[in-house]
Amino acid sequence: MPTIEVSLKTFGKLAGKTMTEKDLEIVKGEIEAVDKNRAKIEIGDTNRPDLWSVEGIVRAIKAYNGKKPGQLRVKNSGKKIIVDKKLAEIRPFIAGFIAKFVQVDEDLLLDLIQLQDKLAENYGKKRKKISVGIYNHDRIKFPVHYKAVDPSQAQFIPLEFEKPVTLKEVLEEHPKGKEYGYILHDHKLFPLFIDSKEEVLSFPPIINSNYIGKVEPGSQNLFIEVTGTDHKAVLLATNIFALALQDRGAKIESVVSSYPWKTKYGTNVSAPYIFNEKISFDRSRIKDALGIELNDKEIKSLMEKMLYGAKITGSKIIAAIPDYRNDVMHLNDVIEDIAIAYGYENFTDMDITSSTTGSLKERTLFSEKLRRIMIGAGFQELLSNILTSKKILCNQMMYDEDIIEIDNAMSENYSAVRNWLIPIMLQALQRNMHNEYPQKIFEFGECVVRNEQSNDYTKTVNRIGGAISDINIGYEQISSIVDALFSSLEISYELQPMDHNSFIKGRCAKIIIDSKFAGIAGEIHPQVLNNFGIEKAVVVFELDADLLYQVVKK
């Protein structure tokens, strides 16, 4: 959960009142500590980066209490950011704006740096998705250029340094370079942000320069830029920053990013950006979901409490999503916000009008039978995460397959959806080498495989797998477990030799049921064991549990 520090003085000035615990309930916030004039607040909503600042908290509280917040007011500055086409495969997107006539004092500077950090670290996935730069606007000569440069040639003086260094040296010597350099390690060219006088603003997403990129108390005019790999996220972060500064009294001026290629938002994209996103629905959907009747005035009031614009014509409701909100993806999100504004404590109990008798599905009963068979054979059940990594599924298994990977994954460890269970069981054995042997484990669980016939080109399947690890263990031990499993299910099967990179040659078999491939069994290859760091031999099997169920049902 994001935790931010808020100046109580600033909160009082913006909100016109003293902060209370009840106020923070509106933003799912909780005071963790108060030190002098600053309060540390944990925000419970990880999907609302617009709330990760004192301005965002105050904006939400005011709206909830019926004070409609001001809309983003933007004047065209006529200034441009010119984007280098070579950045298309490196860090392609950038947006920026100018904030004028804002009095930068110590408190505001702390708040700006905090918002910059929270957006980049949390929403920006440690600067990989987005990062934010803050500059002294009065030192910049427009237009500014977002370029791709040779990291061993381009140089500048980064923050906290006194002499020029190359971009390559920044990654080697600067603390921020060491921390975030991994983002650029796979690229031959690096991003550099310069103005028309060849003065460096920053080396995104690593560090600002020590001149234009150094903002100090007393500054009045700021330039904010956001770079990243996700265009919408870049524009959204720009909007959040712009509204926060407007709430602090700044006059916002737009800047156009000029691309040499066509983006989703055009070739000349002005920021702050007006997404103008709307969701249209029939008012009956509110009653269907919440069980309450609301008139037009009540619906409009509740939606505005949650920062939506609302237009109602007859039975049709159009919800205008704020340009700084990232969490509204479905009608249900809007209806949930209406319920929050209405107050869960205001809903009344409903009488039960019907009753049903519950029972387990046949598939569930079958899965329980498989579990009982394995437990009876002395195996311990695993309950593991369906998300893992390509490294585990493919690289360490010496087996290349087209797996389902997660776009913009939060962690490399959870960047792919498992398509088989054996790698997961090996990972569990590696983590339990300190425990007594022999080790016998199994798992019944879902996997996801490619399927060109489905709408999303994927198919979820159920698998059951088992593994035994010990000093003296071989194919015979795992084949006897497979035989016992099929005997208990009263299913006929046959074994056929097969070659598989993850298994010792000549010690692997495919399992056939009714002429269909049903699974695999064998001894894991020594190199695979080394890849996982497993010191003892391992034998495994894995079966298509859905196919087993179909055969048993016949």
Of the pLDDT bands very low, low, confident and very high (cuts 50, 70, 90), residue 24 is confident
3-state secondary structure (DSSP) of residue 146: strand
CA distance 412 to 175: 22
Q: What is the mean pLDDT of residues 237-263?
A: 95
| Mean pLDDT computed over every residue of the chain | 92
Whether 113 and 161 map to the same domain: the answer is yes
| pLDDT surpasses 80 at 340 | yes
| pLDDT surpasses 80 at 45 | no
Whether 52 and 91 map to the same domain: the answer is no
Q: What is the mean pLDDT of residues 123-143?
A: 94
pLDDT in tens, 349-386: 878 888 888 889 999 999 999 999 999 999 999 999 99
473 and 466 in contact (C-beta within 8 Å)?
Answer: no
**Which amino acid would we find at residue 299?**
I
| pLDDT surpasses 80 at 36 | no
Count other C-beta atoms under 10 Å from residue 456's C-beta.
8
Of the pLDDT bands very low, low, confident and very high (cuts 50, 70, 90), residue 387 is very high
Nearest to 6 by CA among 46, 43, 44, 39: 39
Which alpha helices (H) appear in 347-455, and where do they start and end? 362-376, 390, 422-431
Per the listing, tokens 């350099």 go with: 181
Whether 245 and 287 map to the same domain: the answer is no
Of the pLDDT bands very low, low, confident and very high (cuts 50, 70, 90), residue 31 is confident
Containing 441, the helix (H) or strand (E) segment is strand 439-450
Sheet with 316-320: strands ordered across:
278-282, 316-320, 309-313
| pLDDT surpasses 90 at 470 | yes
3 state SS for 103-130: CCCHHHHHHHHHHHHHHHHHHCCCCCCE
Q: What is the mean pLDDT of residues 130-154?
A: 96
- Domain count of the fold of the chain: 4
Half-sphere exposure of 521 (CA within 13 A, CB side): 24
Last residue of a domain, one of 64, 85, 102: 64
Whether 17 and 106 map to the same domain: the answer is no
Count other C-beta atoms under 10 Å from residue 20's C-beta.
10
Q: What is the mean pLDDT of residues 527-536?
A: 94
| pLDDT surpasses 80 at 455 | no
3 state SS for 165-213: EEHHHHHHHCHHHHHHHHHCCCCCCEEEEECCCCCEEEECCCEEECCCC
257 and 97 in contact (C-beta within 8 Å)?
Answer: no
pLDDT in tens, 120-131: 998 999 999 999
Structure tokens at 546: 């859905």
Q: What pLDDT, on a 0 to 100 scale, did the predictor assign at position 337?
A: 92
Q: What is the mean pLDDT of residues 466-489?
A: 93
Write the CATH number for 396: 3.30.930.10
Instruction: Give the rounded percent of residues in the chain with a pLDDT score beyond 90.
Output: 73
Last residue of a domain, one of 229, 248, 271: 271
427 and 414 in contact (C-beta within 8 Å)?
Answer: no
Q: What pLDDT, on a 0 to 100 scale, did the predictor assign at position 354?
A: 82
Q: Which residue segment(s) compose the domain that 295 sits in?
A: 278-344
| pLDDT surpasses 80 at 48 | yes
Whether 514 and 401 map to the same domain: the answer is yes
Per the listing, tokens 């569930």 go with: 364
* Highest mean pLDDT: which range of 130-144, 312-326, 387-401: 130-144
| pLDDT surpasses 90 at 67 | no
| Residue 357 burial (10 A CB sphere; 0-12, 13-18, 19+) | exposed
Whether 453 and 417 map to the same domain: the answer is yes
pTM for this structure?
A: 0.69
248 domain residue, yes or no: yes
Q: What pLDDT, on a 0 to 100 scale, did the predictor assign at position 458?
A: 87
Last residue of a domain, one of 293, 315, 344: 344
| pLDDT surpasses 80 at 465 | yes
Check residues 354 and 192 and name the one with the higher pLDDT.
Answer: 192
Whether 130 and 43 map to the same domain: the answer is no
Chain center to CA of 176 = 22
| pLDDT surpasses 90 at 282 | yes
